[in-house]
Structure 1
Amino acid sequence: MNIDLSGSPQLITKTGNKNQSADSYVLRNALKMIDANTSHSANASKKTYPYWFILNPAADKGRAKKRVDWLKKSLKRQELDTVIQLTTMPSEATAFASQAKTCAGIIVACGGDGTLNEVTQSLVHSDSVLGCLPIGSANDFFKNISEIEAEEAGISHLFNATVQPVDVGQVFYQAEHTSSSRFFLNSFGLGFSGRIAKMAAAITWLKGDLTYIYALLKVAANYEAMQANVKLHTQDGIISLDQEKIYMLSIGNGKVEAGKFKIAPQAEINDGWLDVCILKDISRSDLPRWILKYLTGKQIGESQIVYAKAKKIEIELFRPECLHMDGEVIENVQGKLTIEVRPRALNVLSSKKLS
C-alpha cells in the first residue's frame, strides 16, 4: 500500500537505524501499522500499538509549533516509531485523519479543541481510536478524559490509558445557503457563546482563559439576545420554547467550555444524552452575576435557565447567527438547525475511568 503524505510538511520520528532513509522508513512503518494488532487496550508496556500524530502548529495562537521538537524527542525516548504530520491550513487535520485511519489504529490529535474537532470528523463510527495531546488554548475535552491538568500532561498518558467509547453530537445546519452537518465532541454554542468563540479566535496577544474572558467582555458590550423557537426531545417528553428571546444556548457533551465555564455541570460524555443549558434574555447589568454562576456551575434551577438532557434539539432562528462547535466557528447560520446525539460513536484513549 502506498502512503501519500505529499502536499504538506511532515516529520518522521524514527528510533531504528539512523542511516535508514525516510522513504523506506515510512513504507516499513506503514506496512507494520496495517498489520498491527489494534486491540482495545492502550498499555504500551505490554503490546506495540500503531500511533499516528497530527499536530496543528497554529494551536494556542501559534505557540504549538514550539512543541514539535519536544514531541519528537519524547517519542524517541519511548522508542516508538511513528509519523508526525503538521497541518498548514484549516480542515487539513480532517483529511490527514481520513488517510491515517486506513493504516493506523490510534490517531493522536496534537493541539486544542479545534484540532480534536477536525480529527473527530474522520473517526466517528470507525474502529480507529482518538488520542489527545493537549497543547491548545483551553483543552476543554481533555478535562473529561484525564485526571491531570493539560499543562502537566506529557505523552505518557497516551501509553497508560484504555480505549473507551464516548458520545458525540451531530449538527445539521444551513450557512451561506448551503446545508451541512458536522460532529462536535465537547460543546456547541449558539448566540452569545458563538460570538465569543469568534472573537477569541481573532485574539493573538492573550493566552488561555484570559482570551475568553476578554472576548466575553468585548462581545457583551453590544450583544442583543436572539429570538428562536426551540424543541428539546427529553426523556419526559418535548420541552418547547416559542419565539423565546435567548441570550445563550449551550449544548454540552462535556461539562466545561472556554477553559472554566461550566455550561453543562451534569453532563457525562458517555451517557447517551446531550445536556442543554439555555439562558433566557438578561439585562447587561446582570451579566456579571451570570458569569459567576457559569464559572461555578450553579446556574441550574434559576428561573432564567432551562436545563435538560436531550436526544435531539430542534432550533428555528429568526436572524442569522454565529455558532461554534468545540471552538470551531461557523458564521451566518440561519433557518432551522437539528442537533442529535450519536451514542458511543467514537473510541477515545482515556486515562480516567468513565462512568
Structure 2
Amino acid sequence: MLLVYFMDSPFKRPCFIVNVSADRNRAVRHINWLGIEVKKQWLDSEILIVKSGTDLTRLAKEKADHFDLIVACGGDGTVSRVAGGLAGSDAAFGVMPMGSGNDFAKAAGINRSLPECLEILIRGNITAFDMIRYSGDAQGWSANTIGLGLDGLANYQAGQIRNLKGSSVYIIGLLKAIRQFHGSSITLTVDKETSTGTYLMATLCNGPWEGGNFHVAPGADPADGILELLTIRKIPVFLLLMYLPFFLRGPAAWMRGVKSESCTSLEIESARPLTVHVDGEHISSEIRYLSMEIRKSALKVIH
C-alpha cells in the first residue's frame, strides 16, 4: 500500500515545516495526525517542528536545495515567510492551513480541511503565483498583502489580543488603531504616477482577502501579473466606522475617500512613521519609505 501511495504523488521528497505557534498555539494538535499521514504517503520525507521566532525564510531556502516540495503548515505568517524563502526556487510550495485567518489559502482555493489539503498535495497541480518584493526601511517578500498606516496598526493591535480569534479580533484591533492614528501626509508613486495627500492607510494586494474575512481586493488574482491597491484618505471617523461592515464584501465606488486601482509597483514616502504588516505579520512601526513591486510567477504553488 505504501508503494501505491508513493507512486500517486509527483513529489518524491517533501519537507513539512510546522509552526506549532500558529493559531495562538493551537496548531500543535495536528502534529500526530500529520506524522502518520505523511508516512503513509511518502517513503522519504521530513517534518520540522518550529516555534515563533524561527527564521522560516532562511530555513525554507535551505530545504529547497534538498527537497522538491516544501509545505508551510501554519497561518499566514508562516506561509509568507516560507514562501519568501522559495521565491524563484525550483521547489514546489504547498500549504496546510492551520491559522486563524488563512488568507493565502483562500486566495489559492485551498482553505479546506487538512485531509483535503493533503490530497491536493498528492495530486500536485501547480500554478505559478506572483509575489510582492519590498525594500526600503524594511525588505522581504509578501505572498498576499502589505498594509501600511491604519491597516498595519490595526493588525498590530489585533495581535495583542490573546483570548479571541476570527474577524472580531481584527475589528477590535481596528477600533483601537482609529483612536491612535489620524493619518499622515504621504506621497504615493503608483506605476511612476506621483501624488501627495493625507492618508489613513494603503494596502497593496496580491490576493483578495485580509484579516480572515475582509474582502479588501475582490479583483485580486495572485496569478495574473497585476496587484490591487486600496487607499483610504483621511475621512471622518463616523464614515470609517460606517464603511467597516461593507469591507466584508469589498470596497465600493460610493465610499468617499476610498480608492481601488490596479498597478505593478508602488512607492510610499510618509511624513510620519507608519506601522506596517506583511501578510498579517507586524514588520515595524517606524516605516517612512517603502518600495514594492510585483515579481511575476515567482512561486510554484500546489492548489
Structure 1 residues without counterparts, runs of 5 or longer: 1-14, 17-42, 175-179, 351-355
Residue in 1 aligned with 2:69? 106
Output the CA distance in 2 between the equivalents of 1:130 and 1:101: 10
Residue in 2 aligned with 1:193? 151
Q: Counterpart amino acid of 1:212?
A: Y
Q: Counterpart amino acid of 2:135?
A: F
Output the CA distance in 2 between the equivalents of 1:148 and 1:113: 11
Residue in 2 aligned with 1:23? none
SS at match of 1:339: strand
Given that 2:11 and 2:68 are in contact with CA atoms closer than 8 Å, whether structure 1 keeps it comes out as: no
Are 2:202 and 1:241 equivalent residues in the alignment? no
Q: How far 1:111 moved relative to its partner?
A: 0.2
Q: How far 1:346 moved relative to its partner?
A: 1.1
How do 1:1-355 residues align onto structure 2 when only pairs under 5 Å count? 45=8, 47-78=10-41, 80-146=43-109, 149=112, 153-174=116-137, 180-233=138-191, 238-242=192-196, 244-300=197-253, 302-350=255-303
Residue in 2 aligned with 1:39? none
Output the CA distance in 2 between the equivalents of 1:158 and 1:118: 19
Given that 2:134 and 2:293 are in contact with CA atoms closer than 8 Å, whether structure 1 keeps it comes out as: yes
From the superposition, tell whether residues 211 and 335 of structure 1 become closer, same or farther in structure 2 (CA, over 3 Å).
closer
SS at match of 1:169: strand
| Structure 1 or 2: more helix by fraction | 2
Q: Counterpart amino acid of 2:85?
A: S
Deviations 1:85-138 (A, max 9, x none): 011342422232122111101100000110011111211011111100000110
Given that 2:10 and 2:122 are in contact with CA atoms closer than 8 Å, whether structure 1 keeps it comes out as: no
Q: Counterpart amino acid of 1:240?
A: T
Output the CA distance in 2 between the equivalents of 1:267 and 1:91: 30
Deviations 1:162-202 (A, max 9, x none): 1110110011121xxxxx42110000100111011111222
TM-score (norm: length of structure 1): 0.79
Output the CA distance in 2 between the equivalents of 1:77 and 1:300: 51
From the superposition, tell whether residues 159 and 151 of structure 1 become closer, same or farther in structure 2 (CA, over 3 Å).
closer
The structure with more radius of gyration: 1
Indicate the larger mover: 290-299 or 57-66. Answer: 290-299
Q: Counterpart amino acid of 1:232?
A: V
SS at match of 1:269: coil
Q: Counterpart amino acid of 1:199?
A: Q
Output the CA distance in 1 between the equivalents of 2:52 and 2:300: 26
Write out the 4+ residue segments of structure 1 that deviate beyond 4 Å after TM superposition. 150-154
Given that 2:13 and 2:42 are in contact with CA atoms closer than 8 Å, whether structure 1 keeps it comes out as: no
Identity %: 29
Given that 1:209 and 1:258 are in contact with CA atoms closer than 8 Å, whether structure 2 keeps it comes out as: yes
Q: Counterpart amino acid of 1:285?
A: F
Given that 1:290 and 1:299 are in contact with CA atoms closer than 8 Å, whether structure 2 keeps it comes out as: no
Output the CA distance in 2 between the equivalents of 1:186 and 1:105: 23
Given that 2:243 and 2:255 are in contact with CA atoms closer than 8 Å, whether structure 1 keeps it comes out as: no
From the superposition, tell whether residues 227 and 86 of structure 1 become closer, same or farther in structure 2 (CA, over 3 Å).
same
Deviations 1:232-289 (A, max 9, x none): 11xxxx54321x1111211110001001111111111111111101011121112222
Q: Counterpart amino acid of 1:217?
A: L
Deviations 1:131-161 (A, max 9, x none): 0000011000001112654578452221124
Output the CA distance in 2 between the equivalents of 1:57 and 1:127: 26
Output the CA distance in 2 between the equivalents of 1:183 and 1:79: 30
SS at match of 2:37: helix
Output the CA distance in 1 between the equivalents of 2:230 and 2:7: 39
Given that 2:203 and 2:229 are in contact with CA atoms closer than 8 Å, whether structure 1 keeps it comes out as: yes
Given that 1:231 and 1:239 are in contact with CA atoms closer than 8 Å, whether structure 2 keeps it comes out as: yes
From the superposition, tell whether residues 90 and 134 of structure 1 become closer, same or farther in structure 2 (CA, over 3 Å).
same
Given that 1:318 and 1:334 are in contact with CA atoms closer than 8 Å, whether structure 2 keeps it comes out as: no
State the Cα RMSD in Å: 2.1
Given that 2:10 and 2:124 are in contact with CA atoms closer than 8 Å, whether structure 1 keeps it comes out as: no
Output the CA distance in 2 between the equivalents of 1:47 and 1:172: 36
